[in-house]
Chain A
Amino acid sequence: MSRDLLHQDEIRAFVREAYRSVDSESRAVAEKLYSPEELDGVPAIALDHALGVGNHLLHARIEPGDTVLDLGCGSGIDSILASRRTGPSGRVIALDFLPEMLERTAAAADEAGLDNVDVLEGEMEAIPLPDDSVDCLISNGVVNLSPRKARVLAECARVLRRDGELCVADLTVEEQELPPEVLTHPAAWAG
């Protein structure tokens, strides 16, 4: 019931505005989630705006030559790390709904000397990619932001090839719901 206190369009607007207006650094998030070895060589522009919630890449089975979709790439830290594993024969498609995030990811990939990271603007509820076009899909703290999660996951299944894998880190809650004061606060839908 409390999850219906806000309309989908309101939630989308809150999330978009919150991410667009982030102006402080969050390097501490990157340093908490990833090892120094992993972060070595990742450009500051990616590290300074890390907003993921876990290190799912430890479990993602990415092979050289794979096409990887990073759903909601943010500033690009996971796209950079994934691109190292696909190697030059593979590619990472970094998808985000905010051009500002895509600019950071593209700048980070460029600075890291990676030419196998392609940025793509789009919504996770309507991924602008063909069916069966992705070997591995990764996402970090993003699915929870959508008011249409079933649609997002259906889109993930559509773009993955048969036997392709999804590996996500996402925020979950326990059965007891958060108080309505939190659920109705706009920032709580982005954070």
Chain B
Amino acid sequence: MPPLVVWFDALIVGFSIIMVASGLAFVLGVMGIMQWSHGQFYMVSAFIVYSLFAEAGLNYFVTLIISTITIAILGVLVERILIRPVADKGFLASSVVTLGLSFAIQGFITVLYGPNIKAVPTVLEGKVPVGESFISWQRLLVVILAVVAMIGLYFFVNKTKMGLSMRAASQDRPIAGLFGVRTGRVFSIVMAVGSGLAALAGGLLAPVYSVDPTIGGRPLTLALLAIVLGGMGSFLGAVVGGLIFGFASIILNFYVGPWYEFILFAVVIAVILIRPQGLFGMSEGRV
């Protein structure tokens, strides 16, 4: 058995993946678009927190809210200006646009801040004793806020009228439009929420890890694999996939070191071979 601290580490990694993955799955599920620049939103948010909190000295929670709202607005702008005009041209056109955007954002931040690693100081001092060792409040905060965000997202999608519109638009966009769903507005809100979740994760994890212009790649890769594992476009799938991934990566890392990535990759390949719709996805006809 790994020590208790390792399990808590796994919980944190799991929830950070969940936050990125659920936003990604949300956008994919409702809009049917792979948002490759999702990881860069995470990175930009971490840099906003670095600028405002570590450099300008604002209150951490204020910067967290500012960065989340900024990225949400950025997400809406990206959806309106870049994705909507090419959305009808299919998966490839929208992929090329968001990939290009992801490259451009990373380049822009590198030009602005330079490629070096930056450290964000810990916000919440103090530790919670767990067994023989301690867990910092900063790490617990990640878990708590992630759980709150997930519950909030669940109720938003399943219990509100806007959530109903979203589910309708994701099933059949033209028919939903005929029934009075304003799909354009729905997509903007979906994009805002999805990007905001990535931004929240980036802002929360900036003090836990370090910040540099390439940190957006890894959360994106892990989130993508978690989505494949859980089922493409399914919210529950993204959550469960993210949790499995977070736990498996840390626990396996404890036993086999960096080779854990191979085991995870093999599991994803096996899932693709045996159950391509993922653990929670619906099966559909494919060519």
**A, B assembled together:** no
- A interface residue numbers (CB < 8 A to B): none
